[in-house]
Each structure stands twice: as C-alpha cells, then as structure tokens.
Structure 1
Amino acid sequence: MTGPNRPEAHTAAPRFATDIVTFYHPEFWGLESAGDFRDWAVENPERFWERVLDALTEAGVTGIELTFAPGDIDSVLRAFGDAPSFRRDLAARGLSVVSAFIASSECPDWRHGTNLPAIVADAERRAAFLTEVGAEVLVAGLPMRATFGTRPPFFVDAAYMTRMADIAHAVGEAVAQHGVRLAFHTESNSTLWYERDIDLFMVLTDPRYVWLCPDSCHIALGGGDPVAVARRHSQRIALAHWKDAVKPIDVELTIDETVFAQQQPYMTELGKGIVDFKGWADEMSRTPGAAIVLIELDEAPDPVAALRAGITVAQEARATRA
C-alpha cells in the first residue's frame, strides 16, 4: 500500500516486551531438563516469578506476555494471590503485562467448534484478568494442521476457515466487552501459518473484533515473507512477535506433542537469521501495535543477554528503516 492510503509511521520510541517462554530453558535455572524445570516452577511459583521479574529488569524489558504454564495466569494467581497484587508488584519494578497467550493445549478445543460456550467462557476469564492487570491484548492461535499424509486427510479449506471465523467472532465480541482485543498468532504447522492461511482468515473476519499477531519467525518458517504479510494487514496488527528464523522448514514434521521441539532448530536469535528486520520495523511502525516491540526468544539459556542483543537489533532496524 502506497500513497495517501498508507498508514503514517509512528516515530515515538516503543516499549520492549517479551514472552515468558523466553525464560523456559532449564540451563537458566540450573536444571537438567525441561521436565525438571516445569516441575520445579509449578511447585515454586513465587521463586519462579521473582527470578523472571528480576531478569526482565536487568535486561531492560518493561512488558511481559503471559503464556502457557508455568508462566501462565494460574501461576500468577498462585504466586501473587490476585491480579491487582500482581499489577502492583510489576508497577513497583517498572513492569506491566501487555498481553496473554492462549495455548491450544490449555483451552477448549476449537477444531470442531461444538463447545462454543466453553470456548467463550475461557476467553472471558482471561480477558477479565487482563483488564485487572491493565493489558489489552489476548493472543490466540488456530488449531494445528494434521501430519501430511494422514488418512483421512484434513484440509484447511474455505469451509474450515469459515468455522474458525465464526468462533473468532464470538470470542472477539466477548472479550471486547472487557476492553480487550483478540489477536491471532501465526504459529508454524498450525492452520494459520502460510501467507494464504493468514489472508483467507483475515478476509473472513470482521476487523472490529478480530486482530492479527504476526510472528516474523513462524511466517518465514512457512516460506512466507513476514514483511509482505505485515504490509497487507498493517491496520489489523494489535501486537507482533519479533523473532528470527534460520530457514524455512524444509521437511514434513510429525504434528504431535513434539512438534514445537521439532521446530526449535529452525529458530535463532534476532539478527542471526533470514528475517528482514529493517523492512519489518518499517511496517510495524505503521500498525496499531507500534508502541510495543515484543521480542520472543524461545527458551534462551541466557535470556538477559539474548534480550539485550534483541533490543539492539530492533533499535538498529528502527533507526535505519526505509
């Protein structure tokens, strides 16, 4: 989009944020495995959050995105008692929640849409919490694809996307009553991964109720162009995940509970991969979510150093953007 219809760029310096998954590497906690870390964090929510918040402050990051356990809403409530107490603790450190991510494994299944009341109720509970902590974005994803070659085949076609759009409208309208925007994340191997998936879902959904949370890494892993996606849908981007990819995923992964681990070798720290962050920064500056730069680093062994490096990459990209 060019000329008078192209949104104006926002030039004010953004706030930097990150997803709590950044802190999930067992090495950061002096533990042997991911399982050991999860067990420890579930049993020690106060100590988990204390170290995470200290690390965020040390890294110069002021915003957080809650995610799947152990960095989820339920963990916050176990550690702090309630949302206002969490908000006060964050504010004392100069921190705040910007968003929360709904993990597909921790919410009612969207695939068939026969449990819409449960889906909406779950989203409303999360939106109410976000309102109490002062956040405005609830990030969701569409269901995963099936492993290629599975019989009977599962097609991501117009009929499927229409069902997803109907659910998204119901959820988006419900959370909007809490002052929260519902934004959809472009997860690898999900039904919102390829550029075509994103375009189809966006055209089927009402922009007043359904927003986009593009992830630069995952779009690139699907062979897409993150900058082009951001340009086409700039007016509907409520938040974005800044993340880098080594190369597109070039094999058919088995889509099961191990798929996220299978994706890890294709991901890397900001500035070390194939994403054009200068172009990405330019497009992000023209979106409703321009005030937040959310750097995502899945399970970084040294999250403080990785976040500082990511901030530098983002700052340089913004300074030299087109």
Structure 2
Amino acid sequence: MTSRDGLRFGVDLVTFFHPGFWNVPDHEAVISYAREAPRAFWDRILDSVQSSGVTGVELTFSPFNWQDAIKTYGSVEGFAEALSGRGLTLCSGFFAELEAAGDFTRPEAQEAIIDKAERYADFLKACGSDIMVIGAPLRQTPGAQPAMFHDLDRAKAIADFLNRLGATLLARGVRLAVHTEAHSIFAAARDVDLMMLLTDPAYVHMCPDTAHIILAGSDPIQVVDRHHERMIIAHWKDAIGPMPSETPIDEHIHDRHRPYFCGFGLGRVDWPAWIRLLRDRNFEGWAILELDAAPDPVRDIAGGLTLVRQALLPIYR
C-alpha cells in the first residue's frame, strides 16, 4: 500500500518466523523447513506479503536474508523478478552483523563487517533498494562485573566506525540507518541523543522502532521529534510498556522482548501523535509494519493497514 501523500508500507520478514504460521512445533523446525524446501518457503512468504496489502519487503536474518534469497531464486535477478512479479519492492535490508561481531572495535573485526556490508549493499542496490538498517551493539546487563560503561569514549569509538561504514555504503549508493533496538546502545533517549550527536548526519541516519523505544523506557514521539531529520525509514510496532531494568541482556534478549510486543493499536504508542509528527516534519518514505513472529501475519498486517487507512492517513493528509 502507498498513500497518496508519500508514506509507503512494508513488512520485515521476521514477521513470518512464528512456528504457528508454518504448522511446525518450534523455530528450529521453521529453519529446517526453509532449508529443505526453500522455494516453497519463500514463495509462501512473498505471496503472503502480497495478499496482506503492503508493497515493501525488508530482509533480515537467516532464513530470511539476502543470501537465502539468492540461493532460492538462483540469482539477484531471479529474486528481483520474484518481487516485481508480485508488485513488491525491496525497501530495505536489516544487517545484524554488528551485534554478532563481539568486540567490533578490533581492526580485523571491522574489516570483516565492512566487507559483508559492501556485498550486502551491492545486492540491495541491484534489487532497487538504497537503505540498510543496522542493529547497534547490545548493552551490558546492569550490575554485571566487570562493569562496562557506555560513556563518551566508548560512544565515540562506535560513532567513528558507524561514520566510516556509512561513508563506505554511500559510495555504493546505499544509506545506513541505525535501528533503535531495545537493550542496545541506541534505544533509550539518552543513548539515541548521544549517538546522533557523535555521528555525521551525512552518513548515519536513523530507523526508529516505536515499540523498542518504549521497551527501553522512553517516548518514541519525543525521541524521534528531536532527530526527525535523521529518519529515513521507520518500524511501526506497538508495545505494552517498558521492560524491567534488571532484565538480563544475553543471547536470549530478543526472545524476552516478544511478550512485550502487542497488536498494532493495542499498546502504548500514541499513533495519532506519531502520524501528526510525521506530517508536521514532512516525512515521506517507508513505514515497516513489523510484527515479531506473528502466528497469523497476513491478518495482522492487513488489520494494521485498516487502522492506518481509517484512523491515521486522514490525519497525515
């Protein structure tokens, strides 16, 4: 769906990670099915995106990543044709390598990340997209020892790398947008303000996720309003409230997030205020209706679009 006023709607493919959608018992079985029957797996996803009413696709981690797409359809061109044949557009790609890199301040780690990002950028550009969304490094669990402080010196080291990565991608025609992932160094209001201050707006942009900002205990309307000129894409998602401050931050943190997400319009996001902000700041671009692992994603995405059409787009226009 595209509004007449510059908002285009898409979905992140993590939305299709729920085992119930595939009639299998767990996430491992979803991954197994994707490996055993990749064409049936991807065709069902793309057909479901088409039937839901959105027109954009954001790729994410395996089995929903760009390498899987190429293997399934034989080539970059084959995947592009699978999209265009359904009236779909590749709006963006999520890059999770920074979070998985460990101590990415090491020169060899940075070199590996940049190499992967360059190849991903070339794929995105070939498929008609110019946005790479990147996850930021995770914070440390409060109280863990030895304590690691996200202070000015550490933030400057991260910002320096993001600047250089953004410049590398821009040379390939792709813009870098940092995602406000809860429990990362880019979600709570203070952390977003700090990273936006230290990065160059010519090379580092922002992908606010309304639900993740709420999980971090902040107000997405206020956070985005302060940095609206840096937003080039946004994840529209709802949440029931902030997570406890003592939440362990480890390899299971993304699973711990899921119970705090909820259906579009059923949580804490002030959607009328959100759409007024986008209107008043003249935002035009992709709005990703992301639902982490929804059991009935087509119904949920279509329901979200109905709310958008009936309650929000009249305000935006």
Same fold (TM over 0.5): yes
Matched residue of 1:292: which SS? strand
What runs of 5+ residues in structure 1 fail to find an aligned partner? 1-9
- Conserved in 1, the CA contact under 8 Å of 2:237 and 2:290? yes
Q: Structure 1 residue 236: deviation in Å?
A: 0.8
Residue pair 1:104, 1:143 contacting (<8 A) in 2 also = no
- The answer as to whether partners of 2:240 and 2:268 remain within 8 angstroms in 1 is yes
RMSD: 1.8
Tell me which residue corresponds to 2:164.
170
Aligned to 2:290: 296
- Of the candidates 89, 95, 98, which is equivalent to residue 102 of structure 1? 95
| 1:58 equivalent in structure 2 | 51
Look up the match of 2:16: 23
In the alignment, the residues of structure 1 paired with residue 271 and residue 218 of structure 2 have an alpha-carbon distance, to the nearest angstrom, of 14
Equivalent of 2:35 in 29, 32, 42: 42
What is residue 82 of structure 1 aligned with on the other side? Answer: 75
Q: Deviations over 1:60-106 (max 9, x none)?
A: 11100000111001110110122121112211110010000012478
Structure 2 residue aligned with 1:183? 177
Structure 1 runs, 4 residues or longer, greater than 6 Å off: none
Aligned partner letter, 2:15: T
1:67 is aligned, of 60, 72, 84, to 60
The range that moved more, 246-255 or 161-170, is: 246-255
**What is the aligned length?**
313
Contact 1:107 1:119 in 2 (8 A): no
Q: CA deviation at 1:145?
A: 0.8
Report how far residue 44 of structure 1 moved: 2.2
Q: Percent identity?
A: 38
Confirm or deny that 1:320 pairs with 2:308: no
SS in 2 for 1:97: strand
Report the 3-state secondary structure (helix = DSSP H, G, I; strand = E; otherwise coil) of the residue aligned with 2:172: coil
Could you tell me how far 1:285 is from its partner in structure 2? 3.6
Q: Deviations over 1:150-203 (max 9, x none)?
A: 100011111111011110011100110111100000001111121010010001
Question: Compared with structure 1, are the counterparts of its residues 162 and 103 closer, same or farther at alpha carbon in structure 2 (3 Å cutoff)?
Answer: same
1:146 and 1:196 map into 2 onto residues whose CA distance is: 16
Deviates more, 1:284-293 or 1:183-192: 284-293
Query: Which letter maps to 1:80?
Result: Y
Q: Distance between the aligned counterparts of 1:121 and 1:132, measured in 2?
A: 17
1:295: how far off? Answer: 0.4
Output the CA distance in 2 between the equivalents of 1:151 and 1:234: 36
Secondary structure in 2 aligned to 1:240?
A: strand
Partner-residue secondary structure (3-state), 2:233: coil
Question: Aligned AA for 1:272?
Answer: L
